[in-house]
Amino acid sequence: MGEYSISKLNKVIRGSKRATYDVTSIHKILDDAFLCNIGYVYDDKAIVIPTAYGRIDDKIYIHGSLKNRMMLSLLKAGEASVSVTHLDGLVLARSAFHHSANYRSVNIFGKVNRVDDPDTKMDALKCILNHMVPGHWDNVRYPNDKEFNATLILEISIETASAKVRAEGVVDEQKDLELPIWAGIVPLKMVAEPAISDPALDKGIKIPDAVLNYVKENTY
C-alpha cells in the first residue's frame, strides 16, 4: 500500500530511525486501538481531547454531540491532527538518561468533513462501535431517528501520517555496561477482564460471542 508522503508537518526528526510512513503499518497501529487523542485549536491554544474512533480505508471517523466544542472547532478549521499511542513497556536503563518506553505511536493529519449522507453516517457509527468490539454492532439496538440526528460525525481523510515504534531492549552507553546496575524492560499491556452483565438484565440473556471473543483475545 506504499507510504504516506513526507512533509515538514509529519516528518519525524527526533529518533528518526524509529519512524515509519508505511501505510499498512500505520493502519495496523490505528486498528489496534479505539481511543485516539484529537488536537484542536481553540482561542489560539492547542487542546487535546481523547475520543473513540473507527477507520475505513484512509478515513478516520469520530462522533459527538452537535454542540461538542472539539467537533465544531475541527469542522471550522477543516483539518485535524490525531494521535494514537500504545504503551508496550518500560525501558529501564543503567543510566537515567537512557530510560525510555516501548511504544507504537501514530500521528495523522487530515482534512475534516461533516458526514451528512445517511448511509455513510450509519456506516461510520457501525465502524466506530465495531472498532471497540469487533462484530458487536449486530447485537445492539441501532440508532433511532432522534439519536441519529443528534449525532455529529466527522470524517478525517488522512493526508499525511507518521508512526514511531520502539520495540527493543535497553540501549546504554558502552562504558556503562560494566556498572553494577540492573537494567531491563518491564512489558506493559492493556488487558480485559471478564464482562460484567448489567444487573437489570434478564437472567436468560447470554453474553454475545463478540464480547466473549473480545475478552478472550484481550485477556491476560
Q: Per CB under 8 A, which of residues 37..76 are in contact with a second copy?
A: 37-50, 52, 64-65, 67-69
**Binding status of residue 17 toward a second copy by CB under 8 A:** no
Grid cell 495523522 is found at: 108
Applying CB under 8 A, which part among 30-38, 53-61, 112-120, 152-160 lies near a second copy?
Answer: 30-38
**Binding status of residue 193 toward a second copy by CB under 8 A:** yes
Concatenated DSSP letters for 58-92?
TEEEEEEETT-HHHHHHHHHTEEEEEEEEEEEEEE
**Binding status of residue 125 toward a second copy by CB under 8 A:** yes
Q: Which residues of 133-167 are buried (b: 16+ CB within 10 A; e: fewer)?
A: beebbeeeeeeeeeeeeebbbbbbebbbbbbbbbe
**Binding status of residue 196 toward a second copy by CB under 8 A:** yes
Applying CB under 8 A, which part among 24-32, 87-95, 111-119, 152-160 lies near a second copy?
Answer: 87-95
State which of residues 151, 157, 166, 213 lies at the interface with a second copy (CB under 8 A). Answer: 151
DSSP 22: B
**Binding status of residue 14 toward a second copy by CB under 8 A:** yes
Contact assessment for residue 103 and residue 86, using Cβ atoms and an 8 Å cutoff: yes
State which of residues 116, 145, 187, 203 lies at the interface with a second copy (CB under 8 A). Answer: 187
Q: How far is the CB of 17 from a second copy (least distance, A)?
A: 14
Contacts of 130 (CB under 8 A, 6+ apart): 54, 136, 137
Size of the site for a second copy (CB under 8 A): 96
Contact assessment for residue 126 and residue 73, using Cβ atoms and an 8 Å cutoff: no
The smaller minimum CB distance to a second copy, of residues 1 and 188, is found at 188
The smaller minimum CB distance to a second copy, of residues 2 and 14, is found at 14
Applying CB under 8 A, which part among 33-41, 53-61, 113-121, 155-163 lies near a second copy?
Answer: 33-41
Instruction: From 163, 190, 169, select the one nearest 104 (Cα to Cα).
Output: 163
**Binding status of residue 160 toward a second copy by CB under 8 A:** no
**Binding status of residue 143 toward a second copy by CB under 8 A:** yes
State which of residues 3, 132, 159, 213 lies at the interface with a second copy (CB under 8 A). Answer: 132
Grid cell 469487533 is found at: 134
By DSSP bridging, strand 79-92 and strand 59-65 are: unpaired
State which of residues 60, 127, 158, 183 lies at the interface with a second copy (CB under 8 A). Answer: 183
User: Hey, how many other C-beta atoms are within 10 angstroms of the C-beta on 131?
Assistant: 22
**Binding status of residue 103 toward a second copy by CB under 8 A:** yes
